[in-house]
Amino acid sequence: MTNENVELSERHRCFGGQVEFYRHWSTACNTPMRFSIFLPPQAEHGKVPVLYWLSGLTCTEENFIEKSGAQRYAAEHGIMLVAPDTSPRGLNLPGEDDAYDFGSGAGFYLNATQAPWNAHYRMYDYVVEELPALIASTFPADVQRTGVFGHSMGGHGALTVALRNPERYRSVSAFAPICAPSLSPWGKKAFSAYLGSDESTWQKYNAHHLVRSTASRLPLLVDQGTADQFITEQLMPWELEKACREVDYPLTLRFQAGFDHSYYFISTFMRDHLAYHASALGVVGARPWTVA
């Protein structure tokens, strides 16, 4: 790590590589931001593919790296993992810390247009532009082989950033994503405050709308637990399924019987998702991924 603008806070040996935590000043968010990274052992010898994880509501840069078990499979495939925080922190904005589903820990991976949020809550620019540029300049990342995945709010983020920027990502997947945030209570609350009351401005952050309007055909992999307490009111995977069916968009939607919304679900199918991304990212020796 050679970028003097990035401050290392923790380092841990893990599966032959390193888990590291960093803090840096974000121009996009106009405040310090944090991220975690797993550098596989192959990164000691050259550039490796990079896979971004976008976490869900209430999470930080720590949840995924501590709970998912992804490092084991990333080490096997030689894939770098990067997990940013889910929002700016400690800005003392009115209402910022009043609820779990808005403000701190709930940036929704969009660029806010409404005051006071628009001065800092610009997570879309952060995860699409600023953070990848920082990773490319600081770590041995093969930027031509980049993927993105996430969970819940982060699944929404992964789908929307990939659908809007198919030239940047070679693979995308999601665990229990918010598929139609403009129709869900979580999404309506966040979008109305961050983006305003004009719902036409919300559509560029709606996966079920974007699949209908994009010319790209970047395949989507989505896993959804059938015992997820949020599936009906908040996640609505059938809205994404319906939209993809209407325009013949490539979607693999797997309903996993008995699984809930937790990291027990995520960790169970993490191996599948890493194999899926490894195949799409052209990892040598990775078997072509097929539906199990």
Across the range 156-185, mean pLDDT stands at 98
3 has a pLDDT exceeding 90? no
279 has a pLDDT exceeding 70? yes
% of the chain surpassing 70 pLDDT: 97
pTM across the whole model: 0.96
In the structure, what pLDDT confidence band is assigned to residue 289 with cuts at 50, 70 and 90?
Answer: low
Across the range 214-239, mean pLDDT stands at 97
Rounded Cα distance between 288 and 72, Å, is 19
Indicate the pairing of strand 141-151 with strand 171-175: parallel
Q: Has 125 been annotated as catalytic?
A: no
In the structure, what pLDDT confidence band is assigned to residue 290 with cuts at 50, 70 and 90?
Answer: confident
Centre a 10 Å sphere on the Cβ of residue 246 and count the other Cβ atoms it contains: 11
> Any idea which of 91-95, 221-225, 232-236 has the lowest mean pLDDT?
91-95
> What is the domain partition of the chain in residue ranges?
6-280
Q: Has 152 been annotated as catalytic?
A: yes
Across the range 16-32, mean pLDDT stands at 97
Across the range 227-249, mean pLDDT stands at 98
Across the range 96-125, mean pLDDT stands at 97
Q: What is the pLDDT of residue 2?
A: 54
Composition of the chain by helix, strand, coil, percent to 5: 40, 25, 35
Q: What is the pLDDT of residue 292?
A: 60
> Any idea which of 75-84, 194-203, 283-292 has the lowest mean pLDDT?
283-292
Q: Has 137 been annotated as catalytic?
A: no
The catalytically annotated residue of 85, 142, 223, 228 is 228
83 has a pLDDT exceeding 70? yes
3-state secondary structure of 262: coil
CATH 3.40.50.1820 fits domain 6-280: yes
The catalytically annotated residue of 152, 171, 182, 184 is 152
Q: Where are the alpha helices (DSSP H) in the chain?
A: 63-67, 70-77, 123-125, 131-138, 153-164, 185-195, 207-213, 237-247, 263-280
Asked if 164 contacts 207 with a C-beta cutoff of 8 angstroms, the reply is no
